[in-house]
Structure 1
Amino acid sequence: MQRRFERKLIRACLPFFLLIACVAPAAQTEPVVQVDSVLTWSHPAPWFGGFSGVEVNADGTRLIAVSDRGRVVQARMVREEGRLVSLELEKNAPLKGPKGKALSGKAHDAESLARDNTGQLYVSFEHNHRVARLDSENGVTTPLPKHQDFAGFEPNAGMETLAAHPDGRLFTTPESGGPASGPFPLYAFDGNSWAITAEIPRRGPFLPVDADFAEDGTLYLLERTITPLGFRSRIRSFDLTAPALGEETLLTSGPGQYDNLEALSTWQDAAGQTRLTLLSDDNFFVMQRNEVVELILAKPGPGD
Structure 2
Amino acid sequence: MPRRAGLGLSLAAGLLVLGATAPSPRAAPGTQVELVAELAVAKTAATQGLSGLELSADGTHGLLVADRGWRLDVTIARRDETPVALRVSPPLRLTGPDGHPLEGRAETDAEALALASDGTLFVAFEGDHRILRWAPGAVRPAPMDPSPDAAAYPENGGIEALALGPDGALYAIPERWEVDGAIPVYRHDGRGWTLAASLTPQGRFHPSGADFGPDGRLYLLERAFDGPFGFRSRVRRIALGPEGATEDSVLLETGSGRHGNLEGLAVWRDAAGAIRLSMVSDDNGLAIQRNQFVEYRVVSGAAGL
TM tier, smaller? 0.7 to 0.9
Aligned residue for 2:159, secondary structure, equals: coil
Aligned to 1:295: 296
Deviation at 1:118, TM superposition (A): 3.5
**Alpha carbons of structure 1 residues 256 and 135: separation in structure 2 relative to 1, 3 Å:** farther
Q: What residue in structure 1 maps to residue 189 of structure 2? A: 190
Tell me, in whole angstroms, the C-alpha distance in 2 between the residues paired with 1:135 and 1:41.
29
- Deviation of the 1:116 alpha carbon: 2.7
Q: Is the 8 A contact 1:110 1:126 kept in 2?
A: yes
Q: Determine the structure 2 residue equivalent to 1:19.
A: none
Q: 1:247/1:34 Cα in 2 relative to 1: closer, same or farther (>3 Å)?
A: same
Aligned to 1:172: 172
Q: What CA distance in whole angstroms lies between the structure 1 residues aligned with 2:109 and 2:56?
A: 23
Query: CA deviation digits over 1:268-295, x for unaligned, max 9?
Result: 1222221111000001101112111011
1:14 is matched with none
CA distance in 1, matches of 2:103, 2:125: 12
What amino acid does structure 1 have at the position aligned with 2:164?
A: A
Q: How much does 1:132 deviate?
A: 1.5
Paired letter, 2:194: A
The separation in 2 between residues aligned to 1:138 and 1:80, in whole angstroms, is 35
The one-letter amino acid of 1:74's match is: D
Residues 70-89 of structure 1 aligned to structure 2 (within 5 Å): 70-89=69-88
Aligned to 1:38: 38
Residues 99-248 of structure 1: pairs in structure 2 closer than 5 A:
99-105=98-104, 106-134=106-134, 140-178=140-178, 182-228=181-227, 229-241=229-241, 245-248=246-249
Query: Which SS does the other structure have where 1:246 is aligned?
Result: strand
1:74–1:110 CA distance, 2 compared to 1 (3 A): same
Q: Secondary structure at the match of 2:107?
A: helix
Indicate conservation of the 8 Å contact 2:120/2:133, yes or no.
Answer: yes
Please state how far the C-alpha of 1:150 moved relative to its aligned partner.
1.1
Once the two structures are superposed, residues 82-105 of structure 1 have per-residue CA deviations (whole angstroms, 9 ceiling, x without a partner) of 100111112420110122101111
The number of aligned residues is: 270
Distance 1:250 1:171 in 2: 21
Partner of 1:48 in structure 2? 47
C-alpha displacement of 1:244: 5.2
Question: Deviation of residue 137 (structure 1)?
Answer: 6.8
Question: Comparing 129-138 with 260-269, which one deviates more in the overlay?
Answer: 129-138
Distance in 2 (CA, whole Å) between partners of 1:82 and 1:243 is 35
Q: C-alpha distance in 1, partners of 2:297/2:137?
A: 30
User: Is the 2:119–2:136 Cα contact (8 Å) retained in structure 1?
Assistant: no
For 1:106-152, what per-residue CA distance to the aligned partner results, in whole angstroms no more than 9, with x for missing partners? 11110011123434221111121111223687764321122341111
Contact map agreement 2:199 2:245 (CA 8 A) in 1: no
The TM-score, its normalising length taken from structure 1, stands at: 0.83
- Counterpart position of 2:66: 67
Question: Partner of 1:90 in structure 2?
Answer: 89
Q: Which position in structure 1 is the counterpart of 2:272?
A: 271
Task: Specify which structure has the higher proportion of helix.
Answer: 1
Greater relative contact order (Cα 8 A, min sep 6): structure 1 or 2? Answer: 2
Provide Cα deviations, 1:11-68, integer angstroms capped at 9, x if missing partner. Answer: xxxxxxxxxxxxxxxxxxx95211110110104x423221000100111111100001
Q: Percent identity among equivalent residues?
A: 38
Residues in 1 aligned to 2:167 and 2:85: alpha-carbon distance in whole angstroms: 33
More strand by share: 2
Aligned partners of 1:79, 1:136: CA distance in 2, in Å?
28
Output the CA distance in 1 between the equivalents of 2:185 and 2:208: 13
Post-superposition offset of 1:198: 1.0
Q: CA 1:140–1:65 in 2, change beyond 3 Å: closer, same or farther? A: farther
Q: Which amino acid aligns with 1:33?
A: V
Structure 1 residues 253 and 137, CA gap change in structure 2 (3 angstroms): farther
1:186, 1:200 within 8 Å by CA — same for their partners in 2?
Answer: yes
Distance 1:48 1:73 in 2: 8
Q: Which runs of 5+ in 2 are unaligned?
A: 1-29
**Letter paired with 2:239:** D
